[in-house]
């Protein structure tokens, strides 16, 4: 499993590096991007080539990981099975990723609103401490905010990670 993650990460980093190379070369050489139509076309082609490639690598990695864990296949066979499964079921994979993205967006919004609520509540408590001259309470408010926000973030991340892995595993079993 770790080997497949490392392989996918290497491919993603190489793809990202290659796709961002024209930007780097353009700005490091001092060329103005506005005057270079060829470079603009090249960047657009790279964008449309490598972004889908990164999505495909992500989907194939999910399916290959499930194949390794469930069927105990080696990395190469699992990767080949993941590629085959993705290309046979690419539409459901995209729909699933979009659904997971929407759920992650909702969870992120909930986290943002929760931390905003906690910050507001702790700001109110801080004002009470200021009025009562309780200096230890004033000092402990940022620490309390950090601890509660971190705990909520860890819990939401763990729950979502569990949901995401379960979702991809169930999808893999259904498609296989």
Percent of the chain scoring above 90 in pLDDT: 27
34 has a pLDDT exceeding 80 = no
> How many Cα atoms occupy the beta-carbon half-sphere of 92 within 13 Å?
14
Q: How confident is the model at residue 33 (pLDDT cuts 50, 70, 90)?
A: low
- Write out pLDDT tens, residues 6-15: 777 787 788 7
How high is the pLDDT of residue 6? 79
Q: How confident is the model at residue 25 (pLDDT cuts 50, 70, 90)?
A: low
How high is the pLDDT of residue 22? 67
Residue with tokens 């060829």: 38
- Give the tokens for residue 23: 């930007």
How high is the pLDDT of residue 42? 73
40 has a pLDDT exceeding 60 = yes
Residue with tokens 């000092």: 139
Query: Can you say whether residue 79 is alpha, beta or left, with left for phi > 0 and alpha for psi between -120 and 50 degrees?
Result: alpha
Mean pLDDT of 130-149: 81
> How many Cα atoms occupy the beta-carbon half-sphere of 78 within 13 Å?
23
Q: How confident is the model at residue 30 (pLDDT cuts 50, 70, 90)?
A: low
How high is the pLDDT of residue 128? 84
In sequence order, what DSSP letters do the residues of the chain get, joined into one string? Answer: -HHHHHHHHHHHHHHHHHHHHHHHHHHHTT--GGG-HHHHHHHHHHHHHHHHHHHHHHHHHHHHHHHHHHH---HHHHHHHHHHHHHHSHHHHHHHHHHHHHHHHHHHHHHHHHHHHHHHHHHHHHHHHHHTT-HHHHHHHHHHHHHHHHHHHHHHHHHHHHHHHHHHHHHHHHH-
54 has a pLDDT exceeding 70 = yes
Percent of the chain scoring above 70 in pLDDT: 89
Mean pLDDT taken over the chain = 83
């Amino acid at each position: 499993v770790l080997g497949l993650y490392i392989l996918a990460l290497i491919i993603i980093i190489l793809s990202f590096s290659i796709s961002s190379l024209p930007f780097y070369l353009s700005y490091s050489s001092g060329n103005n991007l506005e005057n270079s139509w060829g470079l603009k076309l090249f960047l657009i082609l790279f964008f449309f080539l490598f972004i889908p490639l990164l999505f495909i690598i992500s989907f194939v990695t999910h399916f290959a990981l499930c194949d390794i864990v469930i069927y105990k296949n080696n990395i190469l066979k699992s990767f080949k099975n993941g590629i085959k499964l993705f290309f046979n079921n690419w539409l459901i994979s995209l729909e699933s990723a979009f659904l997971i993205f929407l759920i992650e967006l909702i969870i992120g919004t909930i986290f943002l609103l929760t931390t905003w609520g906690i910050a507001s509540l702790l700001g109110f408590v801080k004002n009470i401490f200021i009025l009562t001259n309780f200096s230890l309470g004033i000092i402990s408010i940022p620490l309390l905010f950090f601890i509660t926000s971190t705990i909520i973030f860890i819990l939401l991340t763990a729950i979502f990670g569990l949901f995401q892995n379960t979702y991809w595993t169930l999808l893999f079993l259904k498609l296989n």
